[in-house]
C-alpha cells in the first residue's frame, strides 16, 4: 500500500521507516526543509537506535522517500498519517492542535481518491471530528475517512515497540477504513499483536488514559520513595515486593527524579484540561501533575542538602541530560529544572550526556559540556546522576573518588548501591534508600 506520513519527527520517521520495512511504499513529508534535506542525504536528524540502518535500507529498496511537498506525498496514498507535534499550548496547557489542523487543510487539498486520513499524533477527544469537518469544509466532494490510530512507541526502543507492539488501537466506524488499516498492520498481527478496533473518540482517549496511568504509577512509587527515606525503607525492595503481584506488574515502578519527556508532561496536562472542560475532572491525574512538577526542583534541594545546605560557588557535575537513555530528546527533561534550580542557588554546572549535548545547548545556558563522565567528575563538589545511560552504570568509581573535590554522589536513578558507595568512601544519596553520610 502507499502511505504518506505527515511529520518526520520521532514518531513519523520511525513509523514511516517501519511501514516501509513491512513492504509498504512510504513518503515522509515535513515542512522543515532542513530535516528533509538531511534525510535525502542519508543523515538522520534525531538519535534513535537502529533508525539510521532501517532508513538507509528502505531508501535503497525504493520503499521510502522524503519530500517537503505534501501534495506530492499524498496524491496517490491509500492512507495519510498525521504525525505532527501536539505540544502544550502556551498559557493554558491544552494541546496545541494548530499543526494537526494545518495538516488536515493541506491534506484536503491534495487527496484525489478514497483516502484514509489517520491521526497518529496524540490528540484530545473530538479532534478526529474536527479534522473530518476541516477536510469536508475544504473539499466537499472528497472521499475519505478519518481514523484515530494513537502511537504507543517509546523513544529509545521505538523500532522494536513499533514492530512488536503490545496492541494496535484503531478508532473508526468506517468499514472501508477498517479494511485499509487491517491491511496496513497485517504484518504485525501476523506477529500476534492484537489489533483493537474502537470508536474514534475511544481510541483518542485510550492514548491519554495509557499515558496518565503510567505517569501515575511513576508518581506513586516516587512518593513511596520519599516515605521510604523518612521511615528507613528501601523503595527498590518495595517496588519488587508489589511488582511481583501480577495485578500490579513490575514495570514503571522505578523511583526517580520525576517523569519528563515529550509526552507524559503535556499529555497528563491535556487530559486534565479536557476532563475539566467536560465537567468530569480527573483528580488523580491533577494530583500527579502537581506532585511531579514539584519533584524536579525537590531533586535540586536534595543535591543542596548533600552539600551541607548551599551550592553557592560549588561545582556540580551532572551525568545525563536527556529525559531518558538512548535518545537525544531534551523536551521537558528533568535535568532542565534540576540544573536551573542549582544555578539559581549559585552552583557551577559541568555536564555530560552521550547523545543529548547538542539538544541540551538549545535549552540550558551557562553549562560547561564535557565529553565524558570523568571530566564531569573532575574537581566537582558533587556528582549527580540524572539519566541512567548504560555508560554510567559501570564507572570506575575509585578513579572518580580520586578526582572529585568532595566525594559526594547523588544518584537520582539508583544505579549504584549504598553499601558499595560507602565502602568506597563516598557520601551518597539516592532515591528512597538509606543515605551514606
Ligand atoms: P516531533 O516534533 O519530533 O515531530 C513533528 C514533526 O512534524 C516535525 O518535524 C515538524 O516539522 C513536522 N510538522 C509540523 N507541522 C507539519 C505540517 N503541517 N506538515 C508536515 N510536517 C509538519 O514530534 P514527535 O515526538 O514525533 O511527536 C508527534 C506526535 O506523536 C505528538 O502528538 C506526540 O504526542 C505523539 N507521540 C510521540 C511519541 C514520542 O515518543 N515522541 C510517542 C507516542 C506519540
The predicted-structure confidence for 335-361, as pLDDT tens digits, reads as follows: 999 999 999 999 999 999 999 999 999
Phi/psi at 408 (5° precision): -115, 120
* Ligand 1 center to 10 CA (angstroms): 7
Calpha distance 169→94 (Å, rounded):
23
263 is an active site residue: yes
Assigned CATH for 233-429 = 3.40.50.720
Q: Is the CB of 67 under 6 A from ligand 1?
A: no
**C-alpha 295 to ligand 1 mean position (Å):** 27
Characterize the bridge pairing of strands 315-319 and 348-352: parallel
Q: Are 47 and 327 in contact (CB under 8 A)?
A: yes
pTM exceeds 0.90 for this model: yes
Question: From the CA of 99, how far away is ligand 1's center (Å)?
Answer: 9
Residue of 15, 36, 83, 330 to test ligand 1 pocket, by largest number of atoms within 8 Å of CB: 83
Closest CA to 11 of 172, 140, 159, 185: 159
Interface ipTM above 0.95? yes
Q: 2-198: which CATH architecture?
A: 3-Layer(aba) Sandwich (3.40)
pLDDT 10s digits, 173-226? 999 999 999 999 999 877 788 999 999 999 999 999 999 999 999 999 999 999
Cell of 415: 544505579
**Ligand 1 pocket check for 57: Cβ under 6 Å:** no
Q: Is 326 left (phi over 0), alpha (psi -120 to 50) or beta?
A: left
Task: Give the Cα separation of 305 and 325 in Å (integer).
Answer: 26
Q: Which atom of ligand 1 is nearest to the CA of 14?
A: 26
Instruction: Judge whether 2-198 and 233-429 match in fold.
Output: yes
Return mean pLDDT, the chain.
97
The helix/strand/coil state of 261 is coil
Start-to-end CA span in the chain (Å): 62
Domain residue extents for the chain:
2-198, 233-429
Strand-by-strand arrangement of the 315-319 sheet: 367-369, 348-352, 315-319, 382-385, 408-411, 427-429
Amino acid at each position: 500500500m502507499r502511505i504518506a506520513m505527515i511529520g518526520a519527527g520521532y514518531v513519523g520517521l520511525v513509523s514511516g521507516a517501519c511501514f516501509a520495512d513491512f513492504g509498504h511504499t512510504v513518503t515522509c513529508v515535513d515542512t522543515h526543509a532542513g530535516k528533509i534535506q538531511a534525510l535525502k542525504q542519508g543523515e538522520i536528524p534525531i538519535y534513535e537506535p537502529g533508525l539510521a540502518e532501517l532508513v538507509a535500507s528502505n531508501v535503497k529498496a525504493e520503499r521510502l522517500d522524503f519530500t517537503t511537498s505534501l501534495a506530492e506525498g499524498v496524491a496517490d496514498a491509500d492512507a495519510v498519517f498525521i504525525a505532527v507535534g501536539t505540544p502544550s499550548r502556551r498559557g493554558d496547557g491544552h494541546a496545541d492542535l494548530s499543526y494537526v489542523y494545518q495538516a488536515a487543510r493541506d491534506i484536503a487539498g491534495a487527496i484525489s481518491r478514497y483516502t484514509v486520513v489517520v491521526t497518529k499524533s496524540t490528540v484530545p477527544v473530538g479532534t478526529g471530528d474536527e479534522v473530518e469537518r476541516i477536510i469536508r469544509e475544504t473539499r466537499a466532494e472528497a472521499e475519505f475517512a478519518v481514523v484515530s490510530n494513537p502511537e504507543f512507541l517509546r523513544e529509545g526502543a521505538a523500532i522494536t515497540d513499533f514492530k512488536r507492539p503490545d496492541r494496535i488501537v484503531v478508532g473508526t466506524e468506517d468499514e472501508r477504513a477498517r479494511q485499509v488499516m487491517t491491511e496496513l498492520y497485517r504484518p504485525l498481527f501476523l506477529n500476534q499483536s492484537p489489533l483493537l478496533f474502537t470508536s474514534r473518540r475511544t481510541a483518542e482517549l485510550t492514548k491519554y488514559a495509557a499515558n496518565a496511568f503510567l505517569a501515575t504509577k511513576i508518581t506513586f512509587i516516587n512518593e513511596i520513595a520519599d516515605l521510604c527515606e523518612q521511615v528507613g525503607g528501601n523503595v527498590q525492595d518495595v517496588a519488587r515486593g508489589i511488582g511481583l503481584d501480577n495485578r500490579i506488574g513490575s514495570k514503571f515502578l522505578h523511583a526517580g527524579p520525576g517523569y519528563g519527556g515529550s509526552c507524559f508532561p503535556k499529555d497528563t496536562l491535556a487530559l486534565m484540561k479536557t476532563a475539566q472542560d467536560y465537567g468530569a475532572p480527573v483528580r488523580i491525574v491533577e494530583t500527579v501533575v502537581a506532585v511531579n512538577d514539584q519533584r524536579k526542583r525537590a531533586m535540586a534541594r536534595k543535591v543542596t542538602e548533600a552539600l551541607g545546605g548551599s551550592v553557592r560557588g560549588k561545582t556540580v557535575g551532572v551525568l545525563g541530560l536527556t529525559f531518558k537513555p538512548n535518545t537525544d530528546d531534551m523536551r521537558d527533561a528533568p535535568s532542565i529544572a534540576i540544573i536551573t534550580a542549582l544555578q539559581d542557588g549559585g552552583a557551577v554546572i559541568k555536564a555530560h550526556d552521550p547523545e543529548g549535548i547538542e539538544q541540551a545547548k538549545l535549552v540550558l545556558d551557562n553549562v560547561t559540556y564535557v565529553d565524558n563522565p570523568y571530566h564531569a567528575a573532575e574537581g566537582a563538589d558533587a556528582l549527580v546522576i540524572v539519566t541512567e545511560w548504560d555508560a554510567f552504570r559501570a564507572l570506575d568509581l575509585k578513579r572518580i573518588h580520586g578526582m572529585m573535590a568532595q566525594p559526594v554522589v547523588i544518584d537520582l536513578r539508583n544505579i549504584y548501591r549504598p553499601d558499595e558507595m560507602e565502602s568506597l568512601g563516598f557520601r551518597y544519596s539516592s532515591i528512597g534508600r538509606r543515605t551514606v553520610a
